[in-house]
């Protein structure tokens, strides 16, 4: 897949100059390339390519937190009725990206390297501004040489660069011919400053700290000066001293903001850090030295990270002891109950885990994370039918969620609902860009549902929709 993308990029680098003189006048950049609906479909098509190219996190708690943060900011932005697709890339590099159609991506490394939630929010607000101001399309319209097919190929080239993989990412794009294409991925200074300005306004409207933007950009600039390679974010969003100065001056004009530590950001940061150690014992060793008790937000986060690390290292008794300590300090914190349920699941104590998770869902009906963990527990406990019934209403709300479809495929398959299992597998494959395999699974599902006219008709219509989306020429 990666070689295909890169080959397309190199070929396009050769034909772009010839095409430049043949393209019609694009007119007004705000409407020239794509309608809003086309822009949405292009972004989702690109997202399918991305899923098949880079590793995405499937941790439901991280996903839920990222979605909450992005939508919190989007609700205070220039986006009208935002319909966003939010993904978290399983990579330690600092990076974030936005493409047409409201696709927002955040590398896990962004959370690991930020000191506060407001710093992550500053980057998110900046990316939302790129979407709301249509920068990706406008810069190509301004160039007067970008047609729709080339735009789609540009998005494909961005997909292989996101995770910072040397063999297929920025290093691959540094070849002489491909360099011209890579240069187009960088936003212009004007667009970067506009995204800073609009993003900072979004931060203020959301009640977050506007000074977090220059502060985090300064951090990245210092990192760039101390490392041979720049953070991935800076390759497509060049950070300069003048931009930092401008954003700092703008932030100082804003009303004073009271700094507070976000409990959930610190917990997510600790959770990610515990998972990024290749050896769970190393994560345990790190958090043992960080956990000194205490009642501050940071101290609780370090204890939470220790509990996650203990569970990964199969030190279940120690994990439950730490979680008990956290629950005594914050009896109503549901994240600690979720951690306890995850530990019980890892211990294969399914009955207690199910009891814990059902108690959480009584307090928070339909909660995404608790539902996912409960479904996984029910599958492990040999109750796939219950897991399938639990997941069905979630799929109606989140038809774009590939990990949810995968879990449903397992549940339906193990409960002998084969037509539904093949349908779910088709959705997983389609969402990962494996179109032909997805069509095959849909045909299996249709064959198995011939006696159910309503289901057969829905599957047939969905197959046609998949084919139309995959074949759409932008």
Cα torsion through 101, 75, 97, 301, rounded to 10: -140
| Residue 9, H or E segment | helix 2-20
Judged by DSSP in three states, 272 sits in helix
Contact between 238 and 93 (Cβ < 8 Å):
no
Judged by DSSP in three states, 185 sits in helix
Q: Given the residues 67, 127, 232, 427, select the one marked as catalytic.
A: 127
Residue 391 has a pLDDT of: 97
118, two tokens: 């407001």
Q: Given the residues 196, 356, 401, 427, select the one marked as catalytic.
A: 196
Query: Would you give per-residue pLDDT tens digits along the chain (474 residues)?
Result: 433 333 333 223 333 333 333 333 334 444 456 777 888 888 899 899 889 888 999 999 999 999 999 999 999 988 877 789 999 999 988 888 888 888 999 999 999 999 999 999 999 999 998 888 776 666 655 544 455 555 566 666 666 666 555 344 444 433 333 444 444 444 466 778 888 889 999 999 999 999 999 898 888 777 766 555 655 565 566 666 777 888 888 888 877 776 667 899 999 999 999 999 999 999 999 999 999 888 899 999 999 999 999 999 999 999 999 999 999 999 999 999 999 999 999 999 999 999 999 999 999 999 999 999 999 999 999 999 999 999 999 999 999 999 999 999 999 999 999 999 999 999 999 999 999 999 999 999 999 999 999 999 999 999 999 999 999 876
Would you say how long the chain is, in residues? 474
Residue 252 has a pLDDT of: 83
Sheet arrangement for strand 103-107: 85-89, 103-107, 96-99
Distance CA 113, CA 271 (A): 13
Q: Please return the burial class of 259, using the count of CB atoms within 10 Å of its CB with bins 0-12, 13-18 and 19+.
A: exposed
Q: Please return the burial class of 218, using the count of CB atoms within 10 Å of its CB with bins 0-12, 13-18 and 19+.
A: middle
The answer to whether 196 is a known catalytic residue is yes
Task: Note the pTM of the prediction, 2 decimals.
Answer: 0.85
Domain boundaries, the chain: 2-252
108, two tokens: 């896990």
The answer to whether 127 is a known catalytic residue is yes
What lies within 8 Å, CB to CB, of 269 at 6+ separation is 111, 112, 114, 301
């Amino acid at each position: 897949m990666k070689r295909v993308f890169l080959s397309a990029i190199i070929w396009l680098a050769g034909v772009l100059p010839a095409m430049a003189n043949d393209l019609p006048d694009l007119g007004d950049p705000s409407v020239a390339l794509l309608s809003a609906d086309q822009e949405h479909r292009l972004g989702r098509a690109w997202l399918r390519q991305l899923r098949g190219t880079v590793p995405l996190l499937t941790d439901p708690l991280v996903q839920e937190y990222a979605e909450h943060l992005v939508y919190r900011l989007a609700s205070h932005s220039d986006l009208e009725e935002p319909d966003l697709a939010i993904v978290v890339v399983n990579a330690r590099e600092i990076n974030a990206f936005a493409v047409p159609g409201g696709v927002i991506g955040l590398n896990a490394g962004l959370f690991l390297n930020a000191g506060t939630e407001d710093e992550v929010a500053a980057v998110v607000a900046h990316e939302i501004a790129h979407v709301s101001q249509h920068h990706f399309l406008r810069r190509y319209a301004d160039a007067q040489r970008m047609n729709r097919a080339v735009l789609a190929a540009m998005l494909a080239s961005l997909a292989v660069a996101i995770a910072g993989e040397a063999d297929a990412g920025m290093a691959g794009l540094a070849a002489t011919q491909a360099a011209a294409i890579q240069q187009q991925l960088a936003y212009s200074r004007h667009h970067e400053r506009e995204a800073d300005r609009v993003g900072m306004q979004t931060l203020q409207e959301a009640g977050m700290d506007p000074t977090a933007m220059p502060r985090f950009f300064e951090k990245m600039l210092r990192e760039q000066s101390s490392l041979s390679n720049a953070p991935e974010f800076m390759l497509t969003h060049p950070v300069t001293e003048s931009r930092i100065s401008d954003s700092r001056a703008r932030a100082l004009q804003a009303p004073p903001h009271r700094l507070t530590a976000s409990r959930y950001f610190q917990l997510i940061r600790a959770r990610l850090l515990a998972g990024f150690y290749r050896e769970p014992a190393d994560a345990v060793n790190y958090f043992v030295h960080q956990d000194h008790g205490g009642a501050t937000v940071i101290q609780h986060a370090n204890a939470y990270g220790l509990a996650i690390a203990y569970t990964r290292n199969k030190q279940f008794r120690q994990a439950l002891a730490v979680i008990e300590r956290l629950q005594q300090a914050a009896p109503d914190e549901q994240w600690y109950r979720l951690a306890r349920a995850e530990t019980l699941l890892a211990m294969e104590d399914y009955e207690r885990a199910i009891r814990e998770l059902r108690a959480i869902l009584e307090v928070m009906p339909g909660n995404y994370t608790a539902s996912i963990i409960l479904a996984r527990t029910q599958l492990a406990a040999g109750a796939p039918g219950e897991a399938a019934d639990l997941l069905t209403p979630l799929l109606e709300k989140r038809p774009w969620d590939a990990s949810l479809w995968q879990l449903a495929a397992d549940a339906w398959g193990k409960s002998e609902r084969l037509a539904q299992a093949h349908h779910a597998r088709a959705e997983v494959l389609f969402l990962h860009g494996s179109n032909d395999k997805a069509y095959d699974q849909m045909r299996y599902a249709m064959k198995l549902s011939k006696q159910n006219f309503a289901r057969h008709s829905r599957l047939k219509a969905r197959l046609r929709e998949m084919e139309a989306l995959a074949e759409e020429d932008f």
